[in-house]
Amino acid sequence: MHAYTNMVFILIIIVNVLIGIIQEIHGKNLVKKLSILTTAKTKVIRDGKEEEINIDEIVLDDVILLQQGDQIPSDSYILEGEIEVNESLLTGESDTILKQKNSKLLSGSYVISGKCYAKIEKVGDDNFANQIINATKKHKQVNSELLNSMKKVTNFTSFVIIPVGVILFVQAYMFRANDLQQSVVATAAALLGMLPKGFVLLTSIALESGVIKLAKKKVLVQDLYSVETLAHVDTLCLDKTGTITEGKMKVIDIEKYNEELLPDTIENIMNSYVKVTDDSNATFIALKNYFKGEAKYEKLSDISFSSERKWSSVTFKDIGTIIVGAPEKLIIKANIELPKIILDAQKDGKRVLCIAYTKEHLKSDELPNLTIISSIVLADPLRKNAKEMLGYFKTQAVDIKIISGDNPVTVSTIAKMAGLQEYESYIDLSTLKSDDEIIDIVDKYSIFARVLPHQKSIIVKALQAKGHQVAMTGDGVNDVIALREADLSITLPEANDAAKQVSQIVMLNEDFSVLKDVLMEGRRVVNNLTSVARIFFIKTIYSILVSIFCILTNTAFPFIPIQITLIDLAIEAYTSFFISFEPNGKPVQGIFLHTVLRNAIPFALVITLNIIVLTFLAPVLGIAQNSLVTIMYLLIGFVSILAVLEVCIPFNKLHIFLFSTTFLGFFIAVYLFRNLLHIANINKYELMLFIVFAIISTIVLTIKQRIYKKSGFAQ
């Protein structure tokens, strides 16, 4: 239509796109650098030597070494050894499956216990896991209130735009006999105002800036919208070992009880035990660091440790079977009470293992009668800043739940040392008759002890059923299912590959205090976007309402695209962009779309009523059409700036600067570019009319603000 000046909004869109691309590239490069540090690796046997490679370097017929905590990188079969695997990521079932020689292993499952050598059968898209992905093309749905809200708005406006656009154009071109250019330009202006186009870009930039800030603090965000999820978290589930504590066990004491039953010393037998066992969790690493002697005895068979059993065993030739595990599991089979030294150690927050003995050759999970021959006390230091962080989350209305497979007294003591006020609020889940009881007690306790791996996810889902937004931290294979179920999953630096791959946020810094920055970034993004979104949605709402009014009265939409573009740039984008980066750590209140619409609708209604009243008054007052449009346009700018004022309260130096420059910038731009904007000069009488309507609008919106404040509406 040759209306070139009305296409300035295209230039603004191009600038926005360029800003978005630069921001995306910057964020992607930072994330890529961090991702290299977390790239999954596997151990492969090549030329008779063991080496560590990235999983994408695996080729057919490679022989890989799999141990506890490893995720199986490719479909394969066992050449030697025995492991227990969990295939829940593929099947949804959390049952542990025993895999022996020649058993098939599926990529995506992970090793619960044991050790084996496996030969690669398939790579790339031929893998079972990739076939599922390629066949279904489904992924976990993004749980983003911002994204869902924008979808609702764009779906609604998309539904409205076509019929409204057609009717406005037909009325202008056919019923009012406007020329083609006038009809197109007027219609385009109405439709252009309905789209909160700048807010989509602002949302992306705000989320990406959160990713970039966290990346600089060595926090890898693997899902963009998880930054938003952070803001809504009200419950944080922490795994004790490796999260509150460092997960670096150390043997500090060993007690002997019935050593005379053994043909050799406990030390010599345990030297052999740690050399032949395939167990590799933090506890057994501590045992291996303590018992460093030579292996003197031949292994006949073994049963690897699992969190379900809570014990492992090795049967030696000419000796019998040595069992190492949780005191509560082994004491039952020994028919004795827990020794006082074990109880005292647990009260001090120490982990205790029992060593038991039987002459029988143990071949199944069923334990025979045992004799306790020793207890080993291990210590695990608190993670740096753990106490400070638990106290901080308490002040931020985030409820802490500690989940552990350890003894309840031990966990309670560790929680007390970490500063958890509710350290006495604990329960031993092994005392429950059924997992169904968990949903009834999940809100009553802060500490859950003797938790089985599958119960972690039950706790998370029970909390969600109670209306909580749950974040889960973990580092082991036993945390994977719960991490996947949580609204937000966080893994720590020492986490294994399986845990890291299912988590949305991977911390690469051992400093526990970075969780504070994670929470604050989420709140900053959501709170600031909620605050400034009203400025964008005002135009969307009044554009729809004024368009409907124009259709009902068969009048032209009063504005042109270039005028809408100035409001986009000088009022909406300018202030919102800077405020979106401000620190804002307040707990999130209200539902995003409800809050935004409630804050935007009064301004949109005031603008719409001003336009309607002036439309009917103009003939009575003798106001020319050009002057009428100018008064209406100035009122739109003024009322929109009142929304900016509301966003800028409470004032600080930045807010004063933004509000002042927005106010002066808009009216100066209108004056300087009045010809480009097709704005007419108005006389004193018309200026007074504008001032009267501006004062009335201010009074109405001030009353609205007081009503909202009394009602406690989120602003």
Give the pLDDT confidence of 160-206 residue by residue, as tens digits: 888 998 998 998 888 887 888 888 888 888 888 887 777 877 887 88
* Mean pLDDT of all residues in 74-101: 80
Strand arrangement, sheet containing 351-358: 250-256, 371-379, 351-358, 320-325, 311-316, 299-303
Residues 6+ apart with CB under 8 A from 689: 621, 623, 631
On whether the CB atoms of residues 475 and 499 are closer than 8 A, the answer is yes
Angstrom distance (rounded) from CA 52 to CA 378: 31
Residue 327: cis peptide before it, omega within 30 degrees of 0: no
Catalytic residue among 239, 475, 517, 568: 239
- Per-residue pLDDT tens over the stretch 425-476: 999 998 898 888 999 999 999 999 988 878 888 999 999 999 999 999 887 7
Q: Give the highest mean pLDDT range of 38-42, 649-653, 697-701.
A: 697-701
87 pLDDT tier (thresholds 50, 70, 90): confident
pLDDT at 247: 75
Copy the structure tokens of residue 242.
């490796």
Its pTM stands at 0.73
Which stretch of 219-223, 558-562, 710-714 has the lowest confidence by average pLDDT?
710-714
- Provide the terminal-to-terminal Cα distance of the chain, rounded to the nearest Å: 43
Neighbours of 586 (CB within 10 A): 12
Which stretch of 50-59, 206-215, 529-538 has the lowest confidence by average pLDDT?
206-215
pLDDT at 30: 66
- Per-residue pLDDT tens over the stretch 592-636: 889 999 999 999 999 999 999 999 999 998 899 899 999 999 999
- Per-residue pLDDT tens over the stretch 392-406: 888 888 899 999 888
Angstrom distance (rounded) from CA 222 to CA 213: 14
Confirm whether 41-136 and 219-246+383-508 share one CATH topology.
no
Q: Write down the residue that tokens 């735009």 correspond to.
A: 161
Angstrom distance (rounded) from CA 389 to CA 471: 15
93, pLDDT greater than 70 = no
- Per-residue pLDDT tens over the stretch 486-538: 988 888 777 777 677 778 888 887 777 788 888 888 888 889 999 999 998 99
Under CATH, what is the fold of the domain 41-136? 2.70.150
* Mean pLDDT of all residues in 320-348: 87
pLDDT at 138: 40
pLDDT at 640: 95
On whether the CB atoms of residues 113 and 73 are closer than 8 A, the answer is no
Average pLDDT of the chain, as a whole number: 86
pLDDT at 137: 38
Does the annotation mark 239 as catalytic?
Answer: yes
Angstrom distance (rounded) from CA 153 to CA 173: 29
Angstrom distance (rounded) from CA 563 to CA 561: 5
- Contacts of 359-367 with C-beta under 8 Å, sequence gap 24+, read 359/320, 359/321, 360/320, 360/321, 361/300, 361/301, 361/315, 361/320, 361/321, 362/301, 362/303, 362/313, 362/315, 362/321, 362/323, 363/301, 365/303, 365/309, 367/311, 367/323, 367/329, 367/330, 367/333
Copy the structure tokens of residue 433.
């008759």
pLDDT at 136: 39
Copy the structure tokens of residue 94.
């959390």
CATH architecture, range 219-246+383-508: 3-Layer(aba) Sandwich (3.40)
- Per-residue pLDDT tens over the stretch 567-579: 888 898 888 888 8
Copy the structure tokens of residue 642.
């009142």
CATH node for 250-379: 3.40.1110.10
Which stretch of 134-148, 183-197, 473-487, 685-699 has the lowest confidence by average pLDDT?
134-148
| Domain definitions of the chain by residue range | 41-136, 145-197+532-711, 219-246+383-508, 250-379
